């Protein structure tokens, strides 16, 4: 598998240029950052949450964790992690655990941690475990302009 077709089409529709950064096959964004020699703080990862109101993609640096309680208080919701079965259905053209952090491409509301707002470069899973997409910070902020932004780590 390579870059998610859904993501590829969305980036083209938005006029976003990117580079592909190949890396050794890894199971996590943190490990991928290491093999690609990229600072983990510049790797945006997705965490998919759900409740009775639907799904939400939280986008955070690979070296951070979402504080679900803080996020729930901020949003006034009671969200928990989505199941693997749900993720397979939502991201059918992505390998499990390699979901690109661009919720809009998949029709999912998104919230971005503020720590990513000032990065000059962002790397993200492309939909497989062997490629990153590299965006400049301006392009990443353009992609995330309609997302909510808050301190969620």
The helix or strand, by DSSP H or E, that contains position 143, with its residue range, turns out to be: helix 137-143
Tracing tokens 């964790």 back to the chain, one arrives at 65
How does pLDDT run across 117-130, given as a tens digit for each residue? Answer: 999 999 999 999 99
Domains of the chain plus CATH, in order, are 5-150 (3.90.960.10)
Instruction: Give yes or no for a contact between 127 and 95, defined as CB atoms under 8 angstroms apart.
Output: yes
Question: How would you write the pLDDT of the chain (153 residues) with one tens digit per residue?
Answer: 579 999 999 999 999 999 999 998 988 888 888 889 999 999 999 999 999 999 999 999 999 999 999 999 999 999 999 999 999 999 999 999 899 999 999 999 999 999 999 999 999 999 999 999 999 999 999 999 999 999 999
Taking the C-alpha atoms of residue 61 and residue 99, their distance in angstroms, rounded to an integer, is 14
119 and 137 in contact (C-beta within 8 Å)?
Answer: yes
């Amino acid at each position: 598998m390579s870059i998610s077709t859904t993501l590829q089409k969305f980036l083209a529709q938005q006029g976003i240029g990117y580079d592909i950064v190949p890396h050794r096959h890894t199971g996590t964004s943190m490990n991928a950052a290491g093999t690609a020699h990229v600072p983990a703080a510049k790797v945006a990862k997705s965490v998919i949450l759900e409740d009775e109101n639907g799904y939400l993609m939280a986008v955070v640096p690979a070296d951070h964790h979402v504080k679900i309680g803080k996020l729930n208080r901020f949003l006034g919701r009671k969200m928990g992690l989505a199941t693997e079965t749900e993720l397979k259905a939502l991201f059918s053209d992505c390998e499990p655990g390699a979901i690109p952090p661009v919720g809009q491409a998949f029709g999912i509301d998104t919230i971005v941690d503020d720590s990513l707002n000032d990065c000059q470069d962002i790397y993200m899973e492309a939909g497989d475990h062997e490629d990153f997409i590299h965006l400049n910070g301006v392009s990443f902020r353009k992609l995330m302009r309609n997302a909510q932004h808050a301190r969620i780590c």
